[in-house]
């Protein structure tokens, strides 16, 4: 018998030599390299005529439409800059509904009449590209109109240069739309939601006498991930094709020793992190924090927050850069929400706030009664939004892979609630009672008359079980999956908060009052809003059974799986909300709904096929070989006239019957996954969830049992123990 791929993998891992990747990055000057590959504000200022620079800044900072005359000049400056940096090609970089990024490279090369070439790049090429859209998910939008889509320059996210070993490419962040103007990507609706939020937030600021003219949502995503040796990865077809393990018995040691979180970072991993940071610094991504996470082989990277659109592009770059760099260190980056059963999965804490163009964080409690009043209005708007539209927030994080996490006693539950912390909770209660005396602060909270006590900043860390927590000066949406684009969750937040701010602004504007006189009106309105929406506030243990019962009593929805959640997208209230603020047309919503359901079904289908394939081609053959060996040993004893011990016969019997069970279950799985449910996409997804997933789990159960029975040198798949602990 040839040696198992698994044992070969183990040996190859221990041969990895870190010294081979001694890096030149060690002596790099971080200040020097930061944003060195970005067509940044500084570069623009230095290279563009002043009038052009100013016009471009208006588009970037104020969201004003781009002056077409500007594009040609910018393109020329951008080209010269990129050529100096060694770029030979440019690409429109966009984020189709695959959840990944897409790029098609064109060179600057243009042949001349004399048989030579010149390097060319004009405003036309900068502003618009025409990738063939027919191979990207469109949910039916494209099919009925035009196959072609176009990419449109997004000046609010800076262009950058990606270096690769044999050259460099100028990447231009773009939105991706159909010819009829429908969004086919993640960026377009995000940009629309930022504008919607800005318009409504500015109305509120105006009531408080502010001169701000633009509000941005800000975001800092904390990204969790796993790293395992590539030798293991290639020996696990499930990881390779589905991003998660579909088999694997629980190892003797998991995460119960609690010895990994914030533990010392393994040398190879640290070297990887340092190279990742180096690459990201060049791209102007302000990565700041790195540490071990709770599960073995799990880590986190977090940047300093940025404007939401840039933060979204940067998070895509973080994921892609990590993927690339990991391979240089003989490791594979795993972004799936639940790559290993039995240990923690990975999420992405999306820290979110709003900031005006005067530099104020609108969720930062102020030091004066006036600032407090404004803070409490924005805070209350968020509470109302999350309560009123909790189904849409749940929907923004719905996927087959995130279903493994939500509600699985490690990540926040699928019930969306808001955590405020003791102090803010107390303040909210006082507002509700109309300014009653507080037991906690001794004071009385009257809007416009009193100063808030200083709120503790670390409130959120005391409650990791809440999906949506206020953490001092921002909210932290913790239920987002590690592999998801943050565009969706942010756009939903922006949209629902815009609607709340709209409501509040309209109510307050109606009173016709201003300045000090407005305070009693605010007091009354916030009191009403809190009374109506306080049901969403929950400061207790989100994992407990008691909370599930309590949440149901409060009427909070509990969409346990993506299949239950996705239909909320096409609900009248969703269509009304997104339509009202120009974020999605009804057609776009229906298209995306189809794409999401389709994605769910395909993910389960791939997993089902892989489960059957691995069981049939790897696990069962190994088990049969082992069975033959035991049978031979039993026969040998018999032949030698030695009584065969019952324990050995028992082993053989157990093995034989478990193999038979596994075979039966594989057959059943094949049958159910070949069957096509009648009905629409929702019926298909429901069938996948209710029939295919259980069939898959039952195959796994029998196979995992065999993993424990079969001799180590026969077992074909790298084990959990090996993948998680050999570093
Ligand atoms: P932790 O949540 O682990 O305690 P921090 O509170 O320091 O860590 O920050 C977590 C993330 O929140 C960081 O990416 C940080 O930049 C981001 N953050 C801080 N302030 C804001 C804000 N106003 N808007 C959005 N994100 C923010
Ligand atoms: Mg955090």
Q: What are the pLDDT digits (tens) for 189-224?
A: 999 999 999 999 999 999 999 999 999 999 999 999
pLDDT for res 69: 84
Q: Which ligand is nearest to the CA of 302?
A: 1
**What atom in ligand 1 is closest to the CA of residue 220?**
14
Question: Cβ atoms within 10 A of the Cβ of 111, count?
Answer: 9
Q: Is the Cβ–Cβ distance between 201 and 501 less than 8 Å?
A: yes
pLDDT for res 613: 98
| Ligand 1 in reach of 178 Cβ (< 6 A) | no
SS3 call for 581: coil
Between 450 and 569, residue with greater pLDDT: 569
| Ligand 1 in reach of 481 Cβ (< 6 A) | no
Work out the pLDDT band at 1, boundaries 50, 70, 90.
very low
Q: Is the pLDDT at 444 greater than 90, yes or no? A: no
Q: Is 98 exposed, middle or buried (0-12, 13-18, 19+ CB in 10 A)?
A: middle
Distance set, CA 11 to CA 4, 232, 304 (Å): 11, 10, 40
Q: Is the pLDDT at 461 greater than 70, yes or no? A: no
Instruction: Report the distance separating Cα 668 and Cα 662, nearest Å.
Output: 10
Work out the pLDDT band at 458, boundaries 50, 70, 90.
low
**What atom in ligand 1 is closest to the CA of residue 353?**
24
Between 173 and 545, residue with greater pLDDT: 173
Q: Is the pLDDT at 673 greater than 90, yes or no? A: yes
| Ligand 1 in reach of 289 Cβ (< 6 A) | no
Q: Is the pLDDT at 441 greater than 70, yes or no? A: no
* Strand locations in 465-593 (E): 468-470, 475-477
d(CA 222, ligand 2 centre) in Å = 7
Q: Is the pLDDT at 2 greater than 60, yes or no? A: no
For ligand 2, a single-atom ion, the residues with CB < 5 A are: 349
Q: Is the Cβ–Cβ distance between 506 and 377 less than 8 Å?
A: no
| Ligand 1 in reach of 461 Cβ (< 6 A) | yes
What pairs with residue 218 in β-bridges? 307, 353
Q: Is the Cβ–Cβ distance between 529 and 388 less than 8 Å?
A: no
SS3 call for 300: strand
d(CA 352, ligand 2 centre) in Å = 11
- Averaged pLDDT for residues 95-118: 92
Mutate to test the pocket of ligand 1, among 351, 356, 378 (most ligand atoms within 8 A of CB): 351
Q: Which of 632, 640, 626 is nearest to 706 (CA)?
A: 626
SS3 call for 369: helix
The 3 state secondary structure assigned to 179-208 is: CCCCECECHHHHHHHHHHHHHHHHHHHHHC
pLDDT for res 51: 94
pLDDT for res 22: 67
> Which H or E run contains 34?
none
Mutate to test the pocket of ligand 1, among 194, 218, 286, 305 (most ligand atoms within 8 A of CB): 305
pLDDT for res 63: 78
Q: What is the pLDDT of residues 274-287, one digit of tens each?
A: 999 999 999 999 99
Between 475 and 255, residue with greater pLDDT: 475
Q: What is the pLDDT of residues 140-192, one digit of tens each?
A: 776 555 567 889 999 999 999 999 989 999 999 999 998 888 999 999 999 99
Q: Is the Cβ–Cβ distance between 688 and 601 less than 8 Å?
A: yes
Instruction: Report the distance separating Cα 83 and Cα 575, nearest Å.
Output: 46
Distance set, CA 670 to CA 247, 532, 598, 693 (Å): 17, 51, 20, 12
d(CA 569, ligand 1 centre) in Å = 29
Q: Is the pLDDT at 345 greater than 80, yes or no? A: yes
Question: What is the residue-averaged pLDDT of the chain?
Answer: 92
pLDDT for res 179: 81
For tokens 């070989």, what's the residue? Answer: 625
């Amino acid at each position: 018998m040839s040696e198992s791929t698994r044992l070969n993998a183990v040996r190859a891992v221990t041969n990895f030599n870190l010294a081979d990747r001694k890096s030149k990055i060690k002596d790099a000057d971080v200040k020097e390299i930061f944003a060195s590959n970005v067509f940044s504000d500084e570069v623009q200022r230095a290279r563009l005529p002043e009038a052009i620079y100013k016009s471009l800044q208006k588009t970037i900072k104020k969201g004003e439409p781009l002056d077409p005359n500007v594009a040609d000049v910018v393109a020329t400056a951008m080209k010269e800059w990129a050529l100096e940096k060694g770029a030979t090609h440019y690409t429109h970089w966009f984020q189709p509904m695959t959840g990944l990024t897409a790029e098609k490279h064109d060179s600057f090369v243009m042949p001349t009449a004399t048989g030579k070439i010149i390097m060319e790049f004009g405003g036309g090429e900068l502003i618009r590209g025409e990738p063939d859209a027919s191979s990207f998910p469109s949910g039916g939008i494209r099919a009925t109109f035009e196959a072609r889509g176009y990419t449109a320059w997004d000046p609010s996210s800076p262009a950058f240069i990606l270096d690769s070993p044999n050259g460099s490419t100028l990447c231009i962040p773009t939105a991706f739309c159909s010819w009829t103007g429908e969004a086919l990507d993640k960026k377009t609706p995000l940009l629309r939601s930022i504008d919607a939020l800005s318009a409504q937030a500015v109305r509120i600021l105006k009531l408080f006498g502010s001169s701000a003219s633009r509000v941005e949502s800000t975001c800092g995503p904390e990204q969790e991930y796993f790293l395992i040796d590539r030798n293991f990865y290639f020996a696990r077809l499930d990881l390779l094709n589905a991003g998660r393990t579909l088999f694997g018995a629980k190892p003797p040691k998991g995460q119960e020793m609690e010895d990994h979180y914030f533990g010392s970072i393994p040398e190879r991993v640290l070297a990887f992190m340092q190279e990742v940071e180096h690459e990201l610094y060049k791209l102007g991504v302000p990565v700041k924090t790195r540490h071990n996470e709770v599960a073995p082989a799990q880590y986190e990277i977090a940047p300093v927050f940025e404007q939401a659109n840039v933060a979204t592009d940067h998070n895509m770059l973080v994921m892609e850069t990590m993927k690339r760099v990991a391979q240089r260190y003989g490791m594979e980056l795993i972004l799936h929400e639940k790559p290993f059963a039995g240990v923690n999965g990975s999420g992405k804490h999306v820290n979110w706030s709003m900031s005006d163009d005067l530099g104020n964080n609108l969720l930062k409690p102020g030091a004066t009664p006036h600032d407090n009043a404004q803070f409490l209005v924005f805070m209350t708007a968020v509470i109302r939004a999350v309560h009123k539209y909790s189904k849409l927030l749940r929907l923004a994080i719905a996927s087959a892979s995130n279903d493994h996490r939500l509600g699985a006693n490690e990540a926040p539950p699928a019930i969306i609630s808001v955590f405020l912390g003791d102090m803010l909770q107390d303040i909210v209660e006082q507002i509700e009672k109309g300014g009653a005396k507080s037991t906690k602060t001794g004071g009385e909270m009257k809007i416009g008359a009193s100063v808030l006590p200083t709120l503790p900043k670390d409130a959120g860390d005391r409650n990791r079980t809440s999906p949506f927590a206020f953490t001092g000066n921002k909210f932290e949406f913790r239920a987002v999956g590690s592999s998801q684009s943050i565009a969706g969750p942010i756009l939903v937040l922006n949209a629902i908060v815009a609607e709340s701010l709209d409501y509040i602004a309209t109510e307050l504007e109606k009173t016709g009052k201003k300045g000090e006189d407005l305070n009693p009106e605010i007091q009354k309105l916030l009191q009403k809003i809190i009374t109506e929406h306080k049901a969403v506030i929950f400061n207790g243990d989100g994992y407990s059974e008691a909370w599930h019962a309590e949440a149901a009593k409060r009427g909070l929805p509990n969409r346990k799986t993506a299949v239950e959640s996705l239909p909320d997208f096409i609900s009248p209230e969703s269509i009304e909300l997104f339509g009202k603020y120009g974020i999605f047309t009804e057609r776009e919503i229906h298209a995306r709904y189809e794409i999401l359901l389709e994605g769910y079904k395909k993910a389960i289908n791939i997993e089902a096929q892989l489960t059957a394939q691995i069981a049939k081609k790897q696990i069962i053959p190994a088990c049969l070989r082992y069975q033959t060996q035991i049978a031979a040993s039993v026969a040998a004893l018999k032949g030698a006239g030695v009584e065969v011990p019952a324990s050995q016969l028992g082993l053989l019997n157990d093995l034989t019957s478990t193999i038979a069970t596994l075979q039966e279950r594989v057959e059943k799985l094949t049958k159910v996954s070949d069957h096509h449910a009648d009905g629409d996409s929702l019926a298909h997804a429901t069938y996948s969830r209710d029939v295919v997933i259980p069939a898959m789990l039952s195959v796994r159960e029998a196979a995992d049992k065999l993993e424990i029975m079969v001799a180590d040198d026969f077992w074909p798949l790298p084990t959990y123990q090996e993948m998680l602990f050999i570093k």
